[in-house]
Amino acid sequence: MKKILVTGATGQLGSELKVLSENYWQYEWVFADRTQISLDHLSKLKIQLELIRPNFILNCGAYTAVDKAESEPELADIVNHQAVKIIAQYANDNQAKLIHISTDYVFDGTSSIALTEDALNNPINVYGATKRAGELAALAVNPDVLIIRTSWVYSRFGNNFVKTMQRLLQERDTVSVVNDQVGSPTYAADLAKAMMDIISAQEWIPGIYNYSNEGEISWYEFVLAIQEIGGYTCDVKGIPSASYPTPAKRPAFSLLDKSKIKAVYEIVVPDYTDSLRKCMELLINSNFKRI
């Protein structure tokens, strides 16, 4: 039985893969948290991989605190770059298949058309720079690695934009949201399914791929969709990024072109509104159950 290792197992994507794993009983699954796979402890990481000896590695673990990374660049680099190189090297040396998750933050946001996998990289914050360094390191040591860039990830698990906004829309009379950053959200359950479709495909075709849900929206429009689905009455105001300064700059435009993953792996990419509705129904139902 082939073994699948999921790093970052308690995160949004790792948690969705755990739910999905029930449909893939033909594999032995190892869901590793920070104690089992130490992305911030490089010498320990090599030993841990040798002990698990996976056939597939789904590297969902990362340093994702975008603003905090500005003051912790060394730690962000260890987790997002140096650890990725070790995992990619292990996969190469042991004939394991690696799917590594990356980000739209490798781009600078100056494009006006959907970004392909070949678009120029020019990260504008520490998080994006360390994630791009991880991509390059993985590709340098392992030509068989498969990298998926994604954006605006949310889920019923963990802390994320959808859950935060769902709460604020119920608690406040007014919510202000930036309206000049454009992209597309990614429901982690959809991305998890895409990853398993790749593993299940007849042929492994490595390289960089983009994945997010279909649609081109701003964060402001995203909140309006959350409000509509939830039936909330809060007043949502659009504001420019300049009115909401953060330690890390964000790309103004990071819409990903999904043509490649759809063509090569025949991945079906749902529209963001359909996926958002599914996630919010799960969140609302789970809230009712708690009550």
- Residues 85, 45 contacting (CB under 8 angstroms): no
Task: Judge whether 127 counts as a catalytic residue.
Answer: yes
d(CA 83, CA 44): 10
Element (H, E) at 163: helix 161-171
89-to-49, 122, 197, 200 alpha-carbon distances in Å: 11, 25, 24, 23
Check residue 113 and report its DSSP letter: S
Q: Is 285 exposed, middle or buried (0-12, 13-18, 19+ CB in 10 A)?
A: exposed
Residues whose CB is less than 8 angstroms from the CB of residue 22 and which lie 6 or more positions away in sequence, other chains included: none
Residue tagged active-site, from 63, 90, 105, 127: 127
Active site residues: 127
